[in-house]
């Protein structure tokens, strides 16, 4: 494990801790990490003072302490992960999760494998996961020995003789020890349209159409945020469902600026695959924006739904629902900040934009 002295041209020499607290719309920014990063994954809290996360642009796995400002790189990035590679090697660290026993799971989006690490940031082993519903990695875990995966294969590879797309997508629960798989939830199928890349046509999810989001608490209690109904439903560990209360929503119109921004992002992402930048691209777009475009669960049983923004530089606003599926409040982040994770300590972690355009992690508390 080596210390990081510089990232994205921001020196971390003479680390002196983090900035003092400041308040914004019910949130108090207690501290922010020094330095800057390219692009942040989610943030996982190890304890009240330490977090782990990935810089998905620089492709590094990192551990940081808010009290001292100390930042370390975990493991080693390699250009190719061999089948027998050590668990401390990765190519594209993209997501982090907390499992039982304070064990950390790091998902490598390129190698399509998940490695386990202890609280001190030491690699333990590669986690074997039953090959279920394609090669996409498992991102959601509880601390009861389960991983959860949305089975989009049912849409990508329909059953023989199936003439139309299914109207729901199953969420699979995978027993990590034995490999047993069962279905614990059904999500509404994404709204599909037709995309064009030059002369090539292919089905694509309609941009800005409402989608369902799935999450789980540490004890296996699951929730589904229903995009078409603007509500949060809950599933108890014994399998019993409770339906949340829908909230009225008036969709913002999708503007040409919204479409141009999305297509610019598609082109930017296509660069790494050699896509010609002058290739004509068309995507299906909804007429209005959904009630939320991201959802994240908090250890205390809240679910935060991120509202779509009217302008690219507008502040992020979240609708907070409780364990009974009832709306509680809205929480606004300052401009340039977005939700990145929650801690069992009650802390709220955000990705913050620095003045030079890099990102860092901030720790908030909610009044």
Q: How far is CA 44 from CA 9, 41, 51, 159, 180, in A?
A: 25, 10, 6, 38, 27
Is residue 13's pLDDT more than 50?
no
Helix then strand then coil, % of the chain, to nearest 5? 5, 45, 50
Write 118-126 long-range contacts (CB < 8 A, 24+): 119/46, 119/47, 121/1, 121/52, 121/63, 121/72, 121/74, 122/1, 123/74, 123/75, 123/86, 123/87, 123/88, 124/87, 125/87, 126/87
Return the CATH class of domain 2-78+89-158+166-366.
Answer: mainly beta
Per-residue pLDDT tens digits for 147-175:
999 998 877 666 666 556 678 999 999 99
Please write the tens of the pLDDT for every residue from 181-194: 999 999 999 999 99
* The overall pTM is greater than 0.85: yes
Question: What is the separation, in whole angstroms, between the first and last Cα of the chain?
Answer: 37
pLDDT score at 17: 40
Q: How confident is the model at residue 23 (pLDDT cuts 50, 70, 90)?
A: very low
Average pLDDT over residues 73-97: 96
- Residues 304 and 320: their CA atoms lie apart, in Å, by 5
> How confident is the model over 305-330, as pLDDT tens digits?
999 998 888 999 999 999 999 999 99
pLDDT band per the 50, 70, 90 thresholds, residue 341: very high
What pLDDT digit, counting tens, does each position of 230-264 carry? 999 999 999 999 999 999 999 999 999 999 999 99
- Rounded to the nearest 10 degrees, how much is the dihedral formed by the CA atoms of 193, 291, 107, 265? 60
Instruction: Please report where in the chains the tokens 């510089």 appear, as a residue.
Output: 6
- pLDDT band for position 120 (50/70/90)? very high
């Amino acid at each position: 494990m080596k210390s990081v002295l510089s990232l994205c041209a921001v020196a971390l020499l003479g680390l002196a801790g983090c900035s003092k607290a400041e308040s914004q719309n019910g949130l108090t920014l207690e501290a922010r990490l020094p330095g800057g990063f390219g692009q942040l994954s989610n943030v996982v809290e190890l304890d009240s003072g330490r977090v782990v996360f990935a810089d998905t642009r620089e492709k590094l796995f990192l551990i940081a302490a808010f009290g001292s400002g100390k930042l370390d790189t975990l493991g080693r990035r390699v250009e190719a992960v061999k089948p027998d590679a050590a668990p401390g090697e990765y190519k594209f660290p993209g997501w982090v999760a907390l499992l039982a026993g304070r064990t950390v799971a790091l998902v490598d989006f390129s190698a399509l494998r998940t490695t386990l690490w202890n609280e001190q940031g030491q690699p333990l082993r590669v986690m074997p996961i039953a090959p279920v519903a394609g090669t996409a990695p498992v991102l959601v875990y509880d601390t009861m020995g389960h991983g959860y995966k949305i089975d989009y294969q049912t849409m990508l590879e329909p059953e023989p003789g199936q003439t139309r797309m299914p109207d729901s997508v199953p969420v699979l629960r995978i027993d990590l020890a034995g490999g047993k798989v069962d279905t614990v939830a059904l999500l509404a199928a994404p709204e599909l349209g037709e995309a064009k890349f030059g002369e090539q046509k292919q089905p694509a999810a309609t941009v800005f159409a409402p989608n369902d989001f799935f999450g789980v608490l540490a004890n296996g209690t699951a929730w589904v945020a229903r995009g078409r109904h603007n509500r949060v439903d809950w599933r108890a560990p014994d399998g019993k469902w409770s339906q949340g209360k829908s909230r009225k929503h008036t969709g913002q119109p999708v503007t040409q600026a919204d479409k141009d921004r999305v297509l610019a992002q598609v082109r930017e992402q296509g660069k790494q695959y050699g896509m010609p930048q002058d290739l004509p691209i068309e995507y299906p777009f909804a007429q209005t924006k959904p009630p939320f475009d991201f959802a994240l669960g908090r250890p205390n049983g809240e679910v935060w739904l991120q509202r779509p923004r009217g302008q690219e530089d507008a502040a992020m606003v979240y609708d907070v629902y409780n364990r009974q599926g009832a709306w509680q409040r809205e929480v606004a982040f300052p401009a340039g900040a977005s939700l990145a994770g929650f801690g069992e300590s009650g802390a709220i972690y955000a990705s913050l934009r620095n003045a030079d355009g890099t990102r860092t992690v901030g720790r908030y508390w909610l009044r």
